[in-house]
């Protein structure tokens, strides 16, 4: 049986530095490849990555409050205002008043927003599925663990 958690290979400080630079570069190039297909779709509509993040998280969290979305995205009100307003004007997102508190504004995807979000995220899901299938379950588990640990540091 193959050890699932082999001991790390001993490296000199220079080798470790080189390996970390390679990891940074692969992370950068991987992110670029991951975002390129949805970026092309967004560009056709005059939208950018921030719009995709908003669509994605509103789609995953129907009736999310604006304040909760701000916290989830970890952005300021000023950073969210213009792209959210644009998505509202394009009728990709709808804003309603919460029944439990009239001061709370809740966001949901419209039918058009749902279709666009599915198209954008669908390209990324296909890409991840193909890579995970090529790499195997242990690589997928390792990648998810690394991404979780990175996100816990923010």
Q: Tell whether 6 is covered by a domain.
A: no
149 has pLDDT over 80? yes
3 has pLDDT over 70? no
Q: Tell whether 146 is covered by a domain.
A: yes
**H-helix segments, 90-152:** 111-135, 137-152
Q: Tell whether 7 is covered by a domain.
A: no
Q: Tell whether 36 is covered by a domain.
A: yes
Q: Tell whether 118 is covered by a domain.
A: yes
Q: Tell whether 75 is covered by a domain.
A: yes
Smallest CA-to-CA distance from 41 within 132, 94, 115 is with: 115
Helix (H, G, I), strand (E, B) or coil at 95: strand
Its domain, for residue 56, covers 17-152
DSSP classification of residue 103: T
Give the per-residue pLDDT at 103. Answer: 87
10 has pLDDT over 80? no
| Whole-number Å distance between alpha carbons of 60 and 79 | 21
Q: What is the pLDDT of residues 74-109, one digit of tens each?
A: 999 999 999 999 999 999 999 999 888 888 999 999
DSSP classification of residue 91: T
> Residue 78: in which H helix or E strand, if any?
helix 77-89
For residue 120, give the CATH number of its domain: 1.10.10.10
Indicate the number of domains in the chain. Answer: 1
Q: Is the pTM of this model over 0.95?
A: no
Give the per-residue pLDDT at 2. Answer: 44
Q: Tell whether 26 is covered by a domain.
A: yes
Q: Tell whether 143 is covered by a domain.
A: yes
Q: Are 90 and 82 in contact (CB under 8 A)?
A: no
């Amino acid at each position: 049986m193959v050890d699932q958690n082999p001991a790390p290979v001993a490296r000199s400080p220079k080798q470790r530095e080189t390996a970390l630079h390679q990891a940074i570069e692969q992370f950068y190039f991987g992110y670029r490849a991951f975002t390129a297909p949805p970026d092309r779709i967004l560009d056709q509509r005059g939208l950018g990555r921030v719009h995709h993040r908003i669509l994605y998280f509103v789609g995953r969290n129907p009736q999310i409050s604006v304040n909760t979305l701000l916290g989830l995205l970890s952005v300021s009100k000023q950073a969210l205002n213009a792209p959210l307003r644009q998505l509202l004007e394009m009728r990709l997102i709808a804003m309603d008043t919460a029944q439990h508190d009239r001061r709370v504004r809740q966001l949901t995807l419209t039918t058009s927003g749902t279709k666009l979000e599915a198209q954008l995220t669908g390209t990324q899901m296909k890409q991840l599925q193909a890579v995970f299938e090529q790499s195997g379950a242990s690589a997928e588990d390792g990648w998810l663990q690394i991404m979780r640990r990175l996100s816990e540091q923010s």
